[in-house]
Amino acid sequence: MAAPLTRPAKTPPPRAASPSDGPAAPKSPSGPGARRGQRRAVTLFMVPFFALFTAVTVLPMFYAAWMSLFREESSGLGFGGTERVFAGFGNFTEALTNEAFLRSFGHIAFYCVLYIPAMVGGALVLALLVDSAMARARRFFQIAYFLPHAVPGLIASLIWLYLYTPGLSPITDVLDALGANWNFFGHDEAIYSVVNISAWQWTGYNMIIFYAGLQAVPREVLEAATVDGSGALRTALQVKVPMIRPTVVLTLLFTCVGAIQLFDAPKLVQLRANTMGEDWSPTMFIYTAAFKGHDYGLAAASSLLLALVAGLLSFVVTKLGNRWKAS
């Protein structure tokens, strides 16, 4: 299986706030021999990473690029089987003119509009609340909010699928009892169901990152604010938030790049919300092209295009982020 680009972007753990980059290297006592030995050790430790990186990322990428140049041709009714022919950039033009593929990016854009404010805002609020909570409660909330992230994405989506299903779900029972008529799998409602699954999964995780950022805010600054007569709310909004802005920007970056690779949640919701279509998100389009349409060339070409978009997006968001950070 060579579709290499469907890996959900995991945000890396927050960097240690410590200023030093690892233990300070002690002055080497015995000259170049020891340094050579050190270099050898470093090489040895790096080999597994590069070996795996090559095998599971670089090579599949080249393979996808190779595959994207070919298409399967049949002749007549097709019962003679298929033939692999060189297509040049044909698969790329096909992907770029494919309405469903282009539309899938629109879906993701709308998803981001709903999801990013909800998730980042939610995480920020929770982090600020936990930060101002009693010392003992902090620990508990930290773990409690993080727990959903410990559940694998696929399982989380399955759980929510049950919670959305009328007849199985206590939520729909309650909504029915209240007289609210909300169909989680409806044509217009399905996207909210997807947003909810993602937010449930990632809010706690990002809350931890923000919280770590808040821990690094110098206490003197907060004390100074209090002495100056700033209340808790004002301190939170006008002192704490600006001070963790770099962290928030970093989170936005990873969330955007992650969103474009969205797969698990919409794929599962779509099983019930048929009207979403099987090509709702770019990765779903690729999956369907490969395994329903058996058009591996188109799937490979779309994968590369998606990678390109994700790359560009990362670049733009980083640039913007740097500018915000600087301001």
* Residue 86 β-bridge partners: 70
Taking the least distance from each CB to other proteins, the nearer of 85 and 233 is 85
Q: If binding is defined by CB under 8 A, does position 6 make contact with other proteins?
A: yes
Q: Which of residues 62-81 bind other proteins (CB under 8 A)?
A: 71-81
DSSP state of 151: S
Q: How far is Cα 204 from Cα 124, in angstroms, rounded to an integer?
A: 10
Please report, to the nearest 10 degrees, the dihedral formed by the alpha carbons of residues 307, 310, 315, 321 taken in order.
Answer: -160
DSSP state of 314: H
DSSP state of 165: S
Closest contact distance (angstroms) between CB of 261 and other proteins is 8
Size of the site for other proteins (CB under 8 A): 40
The radius of gyration of the chain from alpha carbons, rounded to an integer in Å, stands at 25
Taking the least distance from each CB to other proteins, the nearer of 28 and 82 is 82
Stretch that binds other proteins, among 2-10, 23-31, 37-45, 299-307 (CB under 8 A): 2-10
Q: If binding is defined by CB under 8 A, does position 94 make contact with other proteins?
A: yes
Taking the least distance from each CB to other proteins, the nearer of 78 and 218 is 78
Q: Which of residues 297-316 bind other proteins (CB under 8 A)?
A: 298
* Residue 72 β-bridge partners: 84
Closest contact distance (angstroms) between CB of 78 and other proteins is 3
Which residue from 296, 263, 295 is spatially nearest to 278, judged by alpha carbons? 263
Closest contact distance (angstroms) between CB of 75 and other proteins is 7
CB 269 within 8 A of CB 276: yes
CB 120 within 8 A of CB 248: yes
Q: If binding is defined by CB under 8 A, does position 187 make contact with other proteins?
A: yes
Residues 6+ apart with CB under 8 A from 93: none
Q: Which of residues 237-276 bind other proteins (CB under 8 A)?
A: 263, 272, 274-276
Q: If binding is defined by CB under 8 A, does position 26 make contact with other proteins?
A: no
Q: Which of residues 276-295 bind other proteins (CB under 8 A)?
A: 276-278, 288, 291-295
Instruction: Scan for tokens 């609210």, then name that residue.
Output: 180
Alpha-carbon distance values, 83 to 77, 105, 131, 189 (Å)? 13, 32, 63, 43
Q: How far is Cα 108 from Cα 261, in angstroms, rounded to an integer?
A: 9
Q: If binding is defined by CB under 8 A, does position 82 make contact with other proteins?
A: yes
Q: Which of residues 145-184 bind other proteins (CB under 8 A)?
A: 152, 154, 165-168
For the chain, the residue count is: 327
Taking the least distance from each CB to other proteins, the nearer of 15 and 292 is 292
Q: If binding is defined by CB under 8 A, does position 59 make contact with other proteins?
A: no
Closest contact distance (angstroms) between CB of 30 and other proteins is 44
Stretch that binds other proteins, among 1-9, 38-46, 140-148, 313-321 (CB under 8 A): 1-9
Displacement of CA 311 from its chain's centroid (Å): 13
Residues that bind other proteins (CB under 8 A): 1, 3, 6-8, 56, 71-82, 94, 152, 154, 165-168, 187, 263, 272, 274-278, 288, 291-295, 298
